[in-house]
Amino acid sequence: MRARTPKSSTLLAVAAALLVAGCERPPIETAQQGYRGTGMVELANPRMVEASAELHAVPAPLPPAEAGGPTAGKTYQNVQVLGELSVGEFTRLMVAMTTWVSPQQGCAYCHAGADFASDSLYPKVVARRMLEMTRHINSDWKAHVANTGVTCYTCHRGQPVPAAVWFKDDSAERNIGSVGWRDHQNIGASSVGYTSLPYDPFSPFFADKGQIRVVGKTPLPPPSGQSIKQTEWTYGLMIHMSDSLGVNCTFCHNSRSFMSWDESSPKRTTAWHGIGMVGDLNRSYLEPLRGTYPAERLGPLGDAPKANCNTCHRGVSKPLNGVSMLEAHPELAPAGGAATPAPASSAASATLGSVLFKVGKSEISAESMKTVGEAIARLKDDGAMKVALSGFADRSGNPEQNLELAKNRAFAVRDALLAGGIAQDRIQLRKPEFAIAGANADSRRVDILPAE
């Protein structure tokens, strides 16, 4: 018995050494993010930060070009986006794009031989749309990218294909062998931090407009409550967001209540706009390029490569550590970097949005929740603003019941605003009315109107 003691203690020591070998060596630095005692603290290891410094370094900007002189639109044959630039500015941008996207391949990645006007190579056609997308991000999504903005380099980092793109993929469902239907779970995929959560948290929220809020607002689940399954998609998304930004949940939330906006940090609002932006980029720009790419660029289900938070962030809370490359390239922000209204405020002027309902229903659909979310964001941006909720009913069927329904719909919108952290005294309820129009979707609505 005695003889075995040293052996087992050696074994123990080896086992313990192996266990901690997977941990990070100190020092660990902490930075307080929220109020004391809320545990809203970020951890960072300076050694790890240094090791990834090169990825976040910014290439030196090119010397400015001469403005004035003939425009590119007048000088060249096939310039559809950058026509208003001077020839000097245009050439400078072509050189910059080459270093950002295809430094190894050079101009030839997009241009076939000396015929610069030809659109025969697909990367040129994609690049033209990318120019439009980059301008759209910088002028219409300031609520997320601020004046820091993005250039091609933010996503591409000297590669034609950004390191972080995603596709729809159901291979895990098809190659299941005897395991049975996994319903996208228990794969241990890197996309969700090797947890058992659904491995594709992107399709529901970055391609479709899925409902992210899952916390119940009543003690018992209402009939339309979010399922456990739904909750798992939300948690998968949250892990992707935390991973991409290199932060903990507490960067955005006070984990005492993941739902409460009042206890969240302002970064959560930035992130909320980020979710909207990524979906917009995928739906309006990246997925529609599907027909332009050669087959080998498409995913296993034939969809186009798409963006997520990591496409820009690459592990830090501000891409390229917050350095603005846009300053040296104002042509990529058509408004010249001046403050343009955030998307939420440009969406509607008189109203903060109309929440539409299905026939006979007073539950807010996932689609309509977006309108409510936009209203919440505006109310958060402007703390003095108050709103009035005005429910409308159509005249088809029983008018009494319809008015009752309109009232319940207004209550549902009020509850959603409250749940979004808007104080009760900022929300007024108006008497429900009959809509002027007949029985159509527009008459089954609640208007969110600015009020005194």
Near ligand HEC in 31-60, by CB under 6 A: none
Among 197, 247, 325, 389, binds ligand HEC (CB under 6 A): 247
Sign for the pseudo-dihedral over CA of 55, 57, 58, 60: negative
Q: Which of residues 199-218 bind ligand HEC (CB under 6 A)?
A: 212-215
CB nearer to ligand HEC: give 9 or 80.
Answer: 80
- The CA distance from 167 to 189, in Å, is 14
Among 71, 76, 196, 283, binds ligand HEC (CB under 6 A): 76
Among 28, 95, 112, 163, binds ligand HEC (CB under 6 A): 95
- The CA distance from 412 to 90, in Å, is 52
Among 71, 103, 124, 449, binds ligand HEC (CB under 6 A): 124
- Please report, as a single letter, which amino acid is at residue 327: E
User: Helix, strand, coil shares of the chain as percentages rounded to 5?
Assistant: 45, 10, 45
CB nearer to ligand HEC: give 317 or 428.
Answer: 317
Among 199, 202, 258, 357, binds ligand HEC (CB under 6 A): 258
CB nearer to ligand HEC: give 102 or 402.
Answer: 102
CB nearer to ligand HEC: give 96 or 393.
Answer: 96
Among 40, 92, 97, 204, binds ligand HEC (CB under 6 A): 97
Among 56, 142, 144, 409, binds ligand HEC (CB under 6 A): 144
Q: How far is the CB of 378 from ligand HEC (least distance, A)?
A: 15
Q: How far is the CB of 337 from ligand HEC (least distance, A)?
A: 13
CB nearer to ligand HEC: give 199 or 251.
Answer: 251
Q: Is 201 left (phi over 0), alpha (psi -120 to 50) or beta?
A: alpha
Structure tokens at 243: 């991973």
CA dihedral (134, 138, 142, 144) in degrees, to 10, reads: 40
CB nearer to ligand HEC: give 93 or 410.
Answer: 93
96 binds ligand HEC (CB under 6 A): no
- Report the chain's terminal Cα–Cα distance, integer Å: 84
3-state secondary structure of 433: strand
Secondary structure (DSSP) of 22-67:
TSPPSP-EEEE-SSTTTT-EEEE-HHHHHHTGGGG--PPPPPPPP-
Q: Is 194 left (phi over 0), alpha (psi -120 to 50) or beta?
A: left
Among 143, 152, 377, 422, binds ligand HEC (CB under 6 A): 152
What radius of gyration do the chain's Cα atoms show? 26
Phi, psi of 30 (to 5 degrees): -120, 150
CA dihedral (294, 295, 297, 299) in degrees, to 10, reads: 150
- The CA distance from 265 to 248, in Å, is 12
Q: How far is the CB of 87 from ligand HEC (least distance, A)?
A: 9
- The CA distance from 144 to 135, in Å, is 14
Among 41, 165, 385, 439, binds ligand HEC (CB under 6 A): 165
Q: Which of residues 221-240 bind ligand HEC (CB under 6 A)?
A: 234-235, 238-239
Among 139, 140, 162, 340, binds ligand HEC (CB under 6 A): 162
Among 143, 172, 309, 427, binds ligand HEC (CB under 6 A): 309
Q: Which of residues 366-385 bind ligand HEC (CB under 6 A)?
A: 373
Q: Which of residues 310-369 bind ligand HEC (CB under 6 A)?
A: 311-313, 317-319, 322
Residue 300 DSSP one-character state:
T
107 contacts 100 by C-beta, under 8 angstroms: no
Please tell me the number of Cα atoms within 13 Å of 127 on its side-chain side: 26
The 267-306 contact track toward ligand HEC, x by CB under 6 A, reads xx-xxx-xx--x--x----x------x---x-------x-
CB nearer to ligand HEC: give 252 or 406.
Answer: 252
How many chain residues are in contact with ligand HEC, going by CB under 6 A? 82
Q: How far is the CB of 64 from ligand HEC (least distance, A)?
A: 17
